[in-house]
Structure formats: structure tokens, C-alpha cells
């Protein structure tokens, strides 16, 4: 399974990468402390469906709804 590890960059202590390959290829980058920041090299849209969305799309949608609720309340 993917694992989260702190980035080796000294300038980005809140950056986490998820490695999936034995070669250490970074597939996902997360920025902690931001409302929603994530970068990917894989393509979750290929398997995502309306009735079964990829977790990354579902999390993004939930973060958007939360931001909208928090901003207007």
C-alpha cells in the first residue's frame, strides 16, 4: 500500500509524498496545512465513476463543500 513520508526538501517540512514503486517514484504529493492541495502523477479519472468516485475526487468535493459552508456562515 502507499505510504506517506516527509519530503526530503528542507524548505517544505509540511510536504508529504506517497511512494508506490520500489524505485521510489513519487505518485502523490500532499501539502499539509492547506485547505486542499494534492498533486498526482497517476490518473484516478480513468477508474472514477459517478456512482463510485475515486477517493481523491470525493475528498476534493467534500473539501469544496466545507469551504463554501465555512465561508458563508
C-alpha cell at 36: 486542499
Predicted TM-score (pTM) of this structure: 0.57
- Each residue of 9-56: pLDDT tens digit? 444 456 666 656 677 777 777 777 777 777 787 888 898 999 999 988
**What is the spatial distance between Cα 73 and Cα 40, in angstroms, rounded to a whole number?**
32
- Each residue of 19-30: pLDDT tens digit? 566 777 777 777
DSSP single-letter state for residue 43: -
CB 28 within 8 A of CB 18: yes
Question: Is the sign of the CA dihedral 63, 7, 2, 41 positive or negative?
Answer: positive
Amino acid at each position: 500500500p502507499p505510504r506517506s513520508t516527509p519530503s526530503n526538501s528542507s524548505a517544505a517540512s509540511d510536504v508529504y509524498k506517497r511512494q508506490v514503486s520500489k524505485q521510489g517514484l513519487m505518485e502523490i504529493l500532499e501539502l499539509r496545512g492547506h485547505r486542499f492541495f494534492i498533486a498526482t502523477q497517476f490518473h484516478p479519472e480513468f477508474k472514477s465513476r459517478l456512482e463510485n468516485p475515486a477517493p481523491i475526487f470525493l475528498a476534493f468535493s467534500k473539501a469544496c463543500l466545507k469551504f463554501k459552508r465555512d465561508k458563508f456562515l
